[in-house]
Amino acid sequence: MTVLEGKKAPFFSLRNENGELVSLEDFANEKYVVLYFYPKDSTPGCTTQACDFRDNYEDFSKLNAVILGVSPDNEASHQKFIGKHGLPFSLLIDDEHEVAEQYGVWKLKKMFGREFMGIERSTFLINPQGDVVKEWRKVRVKGHIDEALETLTEIVNG
């Protein structure tokens, strides 16, 4: 497992649901970035996670943070997912899983007796200076967003 906490966040530049390029440097010296990797749009766990981030979006925003979701899904899938659930943040397309590999979240997974490569649900909190200040790997959806918000609150408010 790659441990990124305390190190510079790997650079990324990916297209979002509207085909716009979004890069880590877009937020440099300005915002915290909550970068969360999830396996697939419109699946139960991923929908719950996205909706939990949506429901806490204002709280993250008040703490000067942007939320960015990343999965291998395409633009049309992201647009549908955002539209169906009213997500107020961008979803980035990592169809070649390059960024997932940089963050060490492209893993061998096992389900129903078969093995395949896919995203391991993970979240990274990146400060405005571009450092990973907290990482959560093998995330369980229930309670995760509360924990991420609590950690961000503690960091911002000292």
Within a domain: residue 44? yes
Within a domain: residue 28? yes
123-150: pLDDT as tens digits: 999 999 999 999 999 888 888 999 999 9
Residues acting as catalytic residues:
46
Cβ-proximal residues to 19 (8 Å cutoff; 6+ apart), any chain: 75
Within a domain: residue 158? no
Domain, as residue range, for 12: 7-152
The reported pLDDT for the residue numbered 146 is 94
Within a domain: residue 90? yes
Task: Tell me if 131 sits within 8 A of 24, measured CB to CB.
Answer: no
- Look at the chain and report how many structural domains it folds into: 1
Within a domain: residue 157? no
Flag whether pLDDT at 22 surpasses 80: yes
Distance CA 129, CA 86 (A): 30
Within a domain: residue 128? yes
Confidence of residue 110 (pLDDT cuts 50, 70, 90): confident
Residue 41 sits in a domain whose CATH number is 3.40.30.10
